[in-house]
Chain A
Amino acid sequence: MVLRLLHLARTAAVHAFLMLGAFLMAYPFIWMWRASSRSAGEIFGAVSNPPPIWEAISENYGRALFETPLLRFMLNGLIMTGGILIAQILTTVICAFALAKYDFRGRKILFALVLLSLAVPAQATALPIFIVLVKVGLLDTYFSMMVPYLTSGFAIFLFHQFIKSFPDEILLAARLDGMSEIEIVFRIVMPAMLPAIAAFAIFSVTFHWNDLYWPMIAIRSADMAPPTLGLLFFRSQGGGGDSFGPLMACATLVTAPLILVSLVAQRKFVQGVTMTGVK
């Protein structure tokens, strides 16, 4: 009996600790949502007669959606992340296939380059790419947003590991059936590696949707800004207490898509985002 009580007390203490941590983790989100669903005066204390919550929500979100270029930012973000993802998948899958399943001169060197590129952070290559973009006059375009990320050494490495373990016999059988090599890649190999592609896609979209560094360099006009940069533009214009509610509504809307996806497809998401870490 005493043992049982002790066990119970210990479990309770563990949960209390974990819950406290969870609360601190979630608090900024809770605060953000509350701030976006209230009138400004109410947040910072001194309003005796707060308007009903629905009114504040429609006010703040309405202004965020229709009086700010938020939708434009989100569209830019969508085009950027989508474009990057498609380009990455198209270039890396076939390349990984070539590295994994053909033996050709230079294969080892190419693979070494892939591994080397894994150690180069994107910020280190920003300056030369920026200089070239300025020279050819392509700064402040969708292309400039995507260009450093059109392929990914990480994706090549990841897909290579996957395709390497794909049985050769199936490829031989497909060749016997008269399939061309490119068909083999897209009709045989790619369907089998959909889970890996999905995990990478989540990783890629998360990274680029949240990226601020490169857009700050490549984008100059608010029209072209992705959500992160857009938020900064918006904040520097507004500033005052009046636009606080809409600012929080914007922040909520920018954060929401990834949060929602991560709640729905948590396993996949964790797998995708942590791929950088394990194996």
Chain B
Amino acid sequence: MTDTMAVPAASLPAVAPVSQTDGGSYRVHAYAFSAPAFLLLFATVIAPVFVVLIVSLTNYKLGHASLSFIGLGNYARLLQDPYFWNALKNSAIYTSIVVPISVGLALIIAALLINRTRSRRFYEVIYFLPVTSTLTAMSIVWSYLLNGNIGPLAKLMTSLGMKPFDFLADGDLALIGLAVIGIWHLLGFNLILFLAGFTTIPKELMDAAQLDGIDSFWDRLRYVIWPLIAPTTIVVVAISCIQAFQAFDTVAVLTNGGPYGATEMLLYKINQDSFIGLKAGYGSALTVIYLSLIGLFSIFQILASNRKVHF
């Protein structure tokens, strides 16, 4: 160990300056090290995406031996498929309930939590519980909580003399019922993201604001927190949209898309058409739509996380 330290660097021309610039002597290492991950990445992500794109142009059905190219036929069919529009509409409604509420509540709770030094940890832990929980298991629990006969909310409403909601059995309410679960599941995640964003607001700035008279909750939110947290908010909104469009577990466990398609959302329809209906071509076309939507939100997210400007 020590004798190598004594060797002056200048006498080691071959070894020293390689790391960043000259790939030459480490080319083999570079390829060998990156090969496993890239072969897998190619096989499980890149290639499948292209396969989906290609299959979406065919009438391929799982289990059938033959297929033929039908151009954009699947997409044309898709535009006329009321079930597709229904699924897209349901996903959009679900998202437009879940995202504003889970983001807005998370922002307010985070703003209330930053000044709580002692109790903050406690609330963080509790609010974060649903995020880590197994949604499949919790959905089963929720199926009882939202039940119109035995659920606690229903009992409360009955005792108040109202007609209880039967969330999951009622076509008008089922999507709202799923959205409630979605909000419950997402809120803590958004909260933590906001709290992380808040740590980037310097403490001295909050002090200065107090001295300048910005010391009520709403003023702080308006003049300091909200403008400084805007880039974080875009990230949170984008992530929430992605999560909402990926809603699947609750549908699969609780409603199977019912009653009468009232809760059939995009991902669930893809799953049904591809793996139950075995319509691979059509399912692939749906997947391409889904992929573009998620990709769009991802781009927003990446743009916002690189953004340093305040507005």
Contacts and interface: CB of A to CB of B under 8 A. Distances in A.
Q: Do A and B come from one complex?
A: yes
Interface of A: 14-15, 17-18, 21-22, 24-29, 31-32, 35, 43-45, 90-92, 94-95, 97-99, 101-105, 107, 110, 113-114, 116-121, 123-131, 134, 147-151, 153, 156, 168, 171-172, 175-177, 181, 185, 206, 209-210, 212-213, 216-217, 227-229, 231-232, 235, 247-248, 250-252, 254-255, 258-259, 261-263, 266, 269-270, 273-274, 276-279
Contacts of A171: 19
Contact of B280 (A127, A147, A266): A127
Instruction: Name which of B34, B37, B52 has the most chain A CB atoms within 10 A of its CB.
Output: B37
A25, A117, A213, A248 — which one has the most chain B CB atoms within 10 A of its CB? Answer: A25
B244 interface: no
Contacts of A185: 33
Contact of B128 (A94, A129, A209, A266): A266
Interface string B126-142: 11111111111110111
B239 A277 contact: yes
Interface string B41-60: 11011111101100100000
B136 A232 contact: yes
Nearest to A278: B196
A207 to B, nearest CB: 10
A174 to B, nearest CB: 10
Contacts of A252: 137
15 contacts: A14-B112, A22-B123, A22-B127, A25-B130, A104-B30, A124-B52, A127-B284, A181-B26, A217-B275, A231-B140, A232-B253, A250-B137, A254-B134, A259-B129, A266-B124
Closest 6 pairs between A and B when the two form their complex, measured CB to CB: A95-B37, A125-B48, A98-B33, A119-B298, A251-B137, A128-B48
A95 B128 contact: no
B4 to A, nearest CB: 5
A269 B133 CA distance: 12
B212 interface: no
B287 A124 contact: yes
Contacts of A266: 121, 124-125, 128
A273 to B, nearest CB: 6
B27 A104 contact: yes
Contacts of B12: 176
Given A101-B19, A102-B29, A153-B41, A210 B124 contact: no
Contacts of A273: 131-132, 189, 192
Contact of B140 (A107, A206, A227, A247): A247
B109 interface: yes
